[in-house]
């Protein structure tokens, strides 16, 4: 399940300092060793700059903002 | 801005003006006091009747005015480029009424002191919402004047009712969830609430466009699926950002997911204990990390980390749904000529 792959990876990075360093130095190598689908790999690649929580999330796509979603 | 962008902006403007004209035509029969309040509600930020104010303003909002009815209208035009504009705009305007009605109900249900609630008060806000729900139906019933087959009008009404019930069910689960412990919720529960609330609304905006254009069942199902994926995606995006912005200003010596802390400026959803995905993920994460009792300072670090992980994971799942929506649009593009304007609006 793709959702679970994303969740587990974020948690592992959060807990594992060695993995965080590897991601900083050579993200492609880390992603190569994971058995991600191309779609999940691409998403994880976009998450990497945010995993240390020191890079702002992209602006929300709020063109259709509605009360139910806020 | 490129020449293409200018063309897009101008084309949106033409569609928006057409929709405003149709919306005002259908309001004309309302009694004047009621109409004035309905117009106020339909003139809130991002809604169709804010168009003139937006055009007069020196600063342009990032939100496209009337994006909901534009969506319905552009879906119909993509499927049937020669579709009668009055017909398509009547269906699109029904969506604007419907979404505005639910927005007002949501404001009241969440005790949100939005400008329109502050201006009208609760009683008038509720009555305007009821009026808008009736207007949505009236806009669809008015199609009989344009020789639209009764079966199609019935299908439009039936679809609107079904999606409204699904949205109300999602909203009810969300309200009930406020009183339940966060540990009772799973990741899947949060996605299901998002599917019911936001997914149903986006679905109906796509579906009414497809039905009014006479789309076959397969095409309707494809647009329905696209709408649901986009609705869930945007809900998750908003939930991740709401908590993210809060955490940026949040004092690190407080807890957030507890029910005993009220933080000034926090979005109402969070104060009310809404079980959004990042909040639920953070709570489960914190439980897993906590294990044995920790000293107070370590507990705070664990709490902070759990929140950050919940936000990043939610944003990742948003990206996943966004990608699924993109794939869905690509599948539709194989047999429907999706207009550049619709692609621009969807931003996929």
* pLDDT at residue number B115: 93
Whether the per-residue pLDDT at B124 is higher than 60: the answer is yes
For B305, nearest residue in chain A (alpha carbons)? A14
* pLDDT at residue number B336: 93
CB contact under 8 A, A68 and B198: yes
Half-sphere exposure of B64 (CA within 13 A, CB side): 23
* Rounded-to-integer distance, Cα B229 and Cα B236, Å: 11
Name every chain A residue with its beta carbon within 8 A of the beta carbon of B330: none
* Rounded-to-integer distance, Cα B71 and Cα B99, Å: 12
For an interface test with A, which of B319, B323, B341, B342 has the most A Cβ atoms less than 10 Å from its Cβ?
A: B319
Whether the per-residue pLDDT at B44 is higher than 50: the answer is yes
- Whether B123 and B168 have beta carbons less than 8 Å apart is answered as no
User: Of B252, B309, B93, nearest to A15 (Cα)?
Assistant: B309
* Rounded-to-integer distance, Cα B141 and Cα B148, Å: 10
**A5–chain B nearest CA distance, Å:** 10
* pLDDT at residue number B261: 40
Reduced to 3 states (helix: H, G, I; strand: E, B; else coil), residue B55 is helix
pLDDT tens-digit series, residues B215-252: 999 999 999 999 999 999 999 998 998 888 888 765 44
- Whether B90 and B142 have beta carbons less than 8 Å apart is answered as yes
Place of tokens 């664990």: B302
Name every chain A residue with its beta carbon within 8 A of the beta carbon of B269: 70
For an interface test with B, which of A64, A65, A70 has the most B Cβ atoms less than 10 Å from its Cβ?
A: A64
Q: Please name the residues in contact with B326: beta carbons below 8 A apart, sequence gap of 6 or more.
A: B348
For an interface test with A, which of B197, B315, B325, B326 has the most A Cβ atoms less than 10 Å from its Cβ?
A: B315
pLDDT tens-digit series, residues B60-106: 666 788 999 999 999 999 999 999 999 999 999 999 999 999 999 99
Place of tokens 């609430």: B193
CB contact under 8 A, B320 and A3: yes
Return the exposure string of B40-72: e unless at least 16 CB atoms fall within 10 Å of the residue's CB, then b: bbbbbebbbbbbeebeeeeeeeebbbbbbbbbb
Q: What is the pTM assigned to this prediction? A: 0.88
| Regions of chain A where pLDDT drops below 70 | 52-70
Q: How far is CA B127 from CA B124, B235, B298, in A?
A: 5, 27, 51
User: Of B248, B313, B249, nearest to B276 (Cα)?
Assistant: B313
Q: Please name the residues in contact with B259: beta carbons below 8 A apart, sequence gap of 6 or more.
A: B273
pLDDT tens-digit series, residues B247-304: 876 544 444 444 334 333 345 666 778 889 999 999 998 888 776 667 777 788 888 8
A11 at interface of B, judged by CB pairs closer than 8 A: yes
User: Of B159, B191, B206, nearest to B320 (Cα)?
Assistant: B191
Q: Is B108 exposed, middle or buried (0-12, 13-18, 19+ CB in 10 A)?
A: middle
Q: How far is CA B93 from CA A63, B24, B47, B318, in A?
A: 18, 10, 11, 29
- Rounded to two decimals, the ipTM of the complex is 0.87
CB contact under 8 A, B312 and A62: no
Place of tokens 């905006």: B205
B317 at interface of A, judged by CB pairs closer than 8 A: yes
Name every chain A residue with its beta carbon within 8 A of the beta carbon of B314: none
Q: How many residues does chain B have?
A: 348
Half-sphere exposure of B167 (CA within 13 A, CB side): 27
For A57, nearest residue in chain B (alpha carbons)? B241
Share of chain B above pLDDT 70, in %: 89
CB atoms within 10 A of CB A41: 15
Residue in A10, A64, A70 closest to B68 by CB: A64
A57 at interface of B, judged by CB pairs closer than 8 A: yes
Main-chain dihedrals φ then ψ at residue B245, nearest 5 degrees:
-65, -40
DSSP strands (E only) in B216-343? none
Residue in A7, A43, A63 closest to B67 by CB: A63
CB contact under 8 A, A57 and B240: yes
CB contact under 8 A, B308 and A11: no
DSSP string, B91-157: HHHHHHHHHHHHHHHHHHHTT---HHHHHHHHHHHHHHHHHHHHHHHHHHHGGGGGT--HHHHHHHH
């Amino acid at each position: 399940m793709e959702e679970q792959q994303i969740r587990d990876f974020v948690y592992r990075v959060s807990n594992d300092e060695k993995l965080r360093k590897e991601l900083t130095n050579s993200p492609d190598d880390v992603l190569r060793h994971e058995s991600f689908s191309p779609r999940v790999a691409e998403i994880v690649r976009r998450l990497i700059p945010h995993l240390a929580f020191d890079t702002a999330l992209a602006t929300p796509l709020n063109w259709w903002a509605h009360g139910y979603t806020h | 801005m490129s020449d293409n962008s200018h063309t897009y902006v101008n084309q949106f403007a033409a569609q928006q003006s057409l929709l405003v004209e149709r919306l005002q035509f259908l309001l004309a029969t309302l009694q004047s006091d009621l109409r004035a309040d309905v117009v106020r509600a339909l003139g809130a930020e991002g809604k169709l009747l804010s168009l003139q104010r937006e055009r007069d303003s020196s600063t342009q909002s990032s939100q496209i005015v009337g994006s909901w009815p534009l969506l319905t209208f552009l879906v119909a035009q993509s499927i049937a480029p020669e579709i009668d504009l009055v017909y398509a705009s009547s269906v699109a305007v029904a969506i604007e009424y419907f979404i505005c009605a639910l927005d007002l109900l949501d404001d009241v249900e969440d005790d949100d002191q939005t400008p329109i609630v502050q201006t009208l008060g609760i009683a008038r806000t509720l009555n305007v919402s009821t009026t808008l729900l009736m207007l949505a139906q009236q806009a669809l019933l008015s199609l009989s004047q344009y020789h639209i087959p009764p079966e199609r009008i019935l299908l439009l009404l039936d679809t609107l009712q079904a999606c409204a019930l699904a949205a109300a069910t999602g909203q009810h689960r969300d309200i009930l969830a406020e009183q339940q412990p966060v540990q009772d919720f799973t990741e899947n529960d949060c996605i299901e609430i998002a599917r019911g609330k936001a997914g149903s609304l986006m679905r109906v905006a796509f579906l009414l466009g497809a039905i009014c254009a006479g789309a076959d069942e397969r095409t309707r199902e494809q647009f329905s699926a696209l709408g649901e994926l986009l609705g869930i995606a945007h809900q998750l995006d908003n939930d991740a950002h709401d908590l993210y912005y809060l955490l940026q200003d949040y004092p690190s010596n407080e807890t957030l997911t507890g029910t005993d802390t009220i933080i000034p400026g926090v979005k109402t959803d969070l104060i009310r204990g809404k079980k959004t995905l990042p909040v639920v993920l953070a709570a489960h994460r914190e439980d897993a990390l906590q294990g044995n009792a920790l000293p107070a300072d370590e507990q705070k670090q664990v709490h902070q980390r759990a929140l950050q992980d919940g936000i990043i994971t939610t944003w990742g799942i948003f990206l996943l749904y966004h990608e699924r929506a993109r794939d869905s649009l690509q599948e539709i593009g194989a047999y429907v000529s999706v207009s550049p304007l619709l692609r621009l609006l969807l931003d996929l």
